[in-house]
Amino acid sequence: MANSKQTPTPVASFEVFYSQVLNPQGELVAPLPYFACDTDELIALYKNMVLTRTFDTKAIALQRTGKMGTYASSLGQEAIAAAIGHAMKAEDVLLPVYREYGAMFQRGVAMHELFLYWGGDERGMCYANQPQDFPIAVPIASQVPHAVGIAYAMKLRKEERVAVVVVGDGATSKGDFYEGINLAGAWNLPVVFITINNYWAISLPREAQTAAETICQKGIAGGVPGEQVDGNDVIGARSRISKAIEKARQGGGPSVIEPITYRMFDHTTADDASRYRDPEEVEKHKQLDPVMRMRKYLESINLWNDQDEQQLNDECSAKIDSEVNIYLDTPPQAPESMFDHLYAELPKAYQAQRDELLNQGGKDNG
C-alpha cells in the first residue's frame, strides 16, 4: 500500500492548427487553394476589401461631421468579411456582429442601409435585398443561440444550408457562446462559428480575456473542432471558412474558425483607444494590412496595376457618394412608426398611446 500511486492516464487530447496562404509581404507561403484558380474571384475579394475600406473612411467622416451617430469601424478586418461573404451561398444565413460590412455588401445589404442604421434609423435593418440575414448584433454573443436555432430549422427541413455566426474574442467569454457551441456540437448542426480575434474587446486585451491558449479551442471543449487562420490573409481565410461551411452543408457538423487580426481603429467612434493601448502596437500591425497584402499579390501575378487601382478607387468613391446621398435624402420615419412594428397588429390597449403621440403638441397634450 505504501508504494501505491495514482497514475492518471490521458483520456482526451487535441491539437489546434494555424494556417496562412499569403504572408504579410503578399507572397505565397502555401499552395493556392482550389478556388483561387478563378482569378475573377481573387479580384472580387480584393475589390470587396477596397470598397469596405472606402465605406469605412466615409462612415467615420459622416460621424465626425455630425451626419451620423456612433459607428464601429472595420479598419484592418476587411479580409475576414470579404472571405465570409464569398464563402457563403445566397441561401445561407449570416449573423454578423458589427464589423462585417464586406460580407453584408456581398449578401445584398445596401450601404445606405448601414448608414441609416448607424444614423439611428431602424429601417437600416430592413434589408430590401436580404430577407433572412440577421441585423447587426450589439449585446455581444447573444446572436450565437439564434444561429443554432436557424441551423436546427435547416437540419429539420433537410435543407443544404448553413448558418454562419460571427462573434469577437470578447464574446467567447460569455455564456451564450458556450451554450450555443455546446448545443451545436451535441446536435451536429450546420453552423459555423467565426470567432474574430482582433486582440481588443474595447479596452481589454486578448491575454486578459481568457487563459485559453487559443480562442478556437473553446469549441473543442464542446466537441466542435476549432482552428486558427491568418485573418489578414483573404485567400487563406476564404479557403478555411469555405471548407468549414461546406463541411457543415454536407452534414459534417459545426466548426469554429478563429481568424487572427487586429482592430486598427478605436472600438467605435465614441472610444479613444489611446487611453489603453500603445500607438506603437498599432503601427506594428500596419505592416500586416490585409488590403495591401492582397494588392501586392495580385500585382505580382500581373492581375492588377496602378491603373486598375485608380479606376477601382474612383468606382468605390462614386458608389459611396451616391449611397451617402440616398442616406442623407431619406427623411426620418413618422414618429408613430415606433408603434407600427411592435406587434403584427398593434393591440387595442396601445392605440391610445399612439394617438397621444400623433396629437403631441396639439391642444390635447397634457
Partner 1 sequence: MAEVTLVEAVNLAMARALADDENVVVFGEDVGANGGVFRATEGLQQKFGDERVMDTPLAETVITGMAIGMAAQGLRPVLEIQFMGFIYSAVDQIINHAARLRNRTRGRITVPMVLRAPFGGGIHAPEHHSESTEAMFAHMPGLRVVIPSSPARAYGLLLAAIRDPDPVIFLEPKRIYRMVKQEVPDDGEALPLDVCFQLRDGDDVTLVSWGAMMHETLQAADQLAQQGISCDVIDVATIKPLDMETILKSVAKTGRCVIVHEAARTCGVGAEIAANLAEHGLLNLFAPVQRVTGYDTIMPYFRLENHYMPSTERIIKAVKKTLEAS
Report if residue 180 touches partner 1, rule: CB under 8 A: yes
By residue count, the chain amounts to 366
241, with CB counted inside 10 A (0-12, 13-18, 19+), is buried
| Amino acid in position 12 | A
Q: Is 366 in the site for partner 1 (CB under 8 A)?
A: no
Find residue 200's DSSP bridge partners. 205
Which residue number, 29 or 357, has a Cβ lying nearer to partner 1? Answer: 357
3-class SS at 28? Answer: strand
From the list 263, 285, 293, 295, the catalytic residue is 263
Contacts of partner 1 in 313-352 (CB under 8 A): 338, 341-344, 347-350
Nearer to partner 1, 118 or 127 (CB): 127
180 or 254: CB nearest partner 1: 180
Please tell me whether residue 256 binds partner 1 under the rule CB under 8 A.
Answer: no
- Decide: is 183 part of the binding site for partner 1 (CB under 8 A): yes
Q: Count of residues binding partner 1 (CB under 8 A)?
A: 41
Question: What 3-state class would DSSP assign to 193?
Answer: strand
Q: Least distance in Å: CB of 225 to partner 1?
A: 19
How far is the C-alpha of 81 from the C-alpha of 314, rounded, in Å?
Answer: 22
Give yes or no for residue 156 binding partner 1 (CB under 8 A): yes
Strand locations in the chain (E): 18-19, 93-95, 163-168, 191-196, 200-201, 204-205, 226-230, 255-260
* From candidates 49, 147, 167, 257, binder to partner 1 by CB under 8 A: 147
Q: Is 220 in the site for partner 1 (CB under 8 A)?
A: no
Given the residues 267, 285, 293, 295, the one annotated as active site: 267
Residue 310 contacts by C-beta under 8 Å, 6 or more apart in sequence? none
Q: Which residue has the cell 487559443?
A: 214
Catalytic residue flag (residue 341): no
Q: Name the residue nearer to partner 1 (CB basis): 44 or 346.
A: 346
What CA–CA distance (Å, rounded) separates 267 from 201? 8
Going by DSSP bridges, is the β-strand pair 255-260/93-95 parallel, antiparallel, or unpaired? Answer: unpaired
CB proximity list for 53: less than 8 A, separation 6 or greater: 75, 78, 291
Our finding on whether 153 is near partner 1 (CB under 8 A) is: yes
d(CA 114, CA 123): 9
Is 150 among the residues that bind partner 1 (CB under 8 A)? Answer: yes
φ and ψ of 37, to 5 deg: -60, -30
Residues 108/127, Cβ–Cβ less than 8 Å: yes
- Contacting range for partner 1; rule: CB under 8 A; set: 20-28, 121-129, 242-250, 309-317: 121-129
Q: Out of 18, 276, 341, 350, which one is annotated catalytic?
A: 276
Q: Which of 127, 193, 199, 265 binds partner 1 (CB under 8 A)?
A: 127
Active-site residue flag, 238: no
Is residue 34 at the binding interface for partner 1, with CB under 8 A as the rule? no
Tell which one of 28, 41, 152, 271 touches partner 1 (CB under 8 A): 152
Q: Least distance in Å: CB of 25 to partner 1?
A: 42
189 CB burial (10 A radius; 0-12, 13-18, 19+): buried
CB of 352 to partner 1, least distance (A): 10
Residues 104 and 114 sit within 8 Å (Cβ to Cβ): yes
Q: Which of residues 160-179 bind partner 1 (CB under 8 A)?
A: 163, 175-176, 179
Interaction mask 59-98, partner 1, x per CB under 8 A: ----------------------------------x-----
**152 a catalytic residue:** no
d(CA 343, CA 347) in angstroms, rounded, equals: 8
Q: Which residues sit at the interface with partner 1, rule CB under 8 A?
A: 93, 122-123, 125-127, 131-132, 134-135, 139, 142, 144-154, 156, 163, 175-176, 179-180, 182-183, 186, 338, 341-344, 347-350
Residues designated as active site:
263, 267, 276
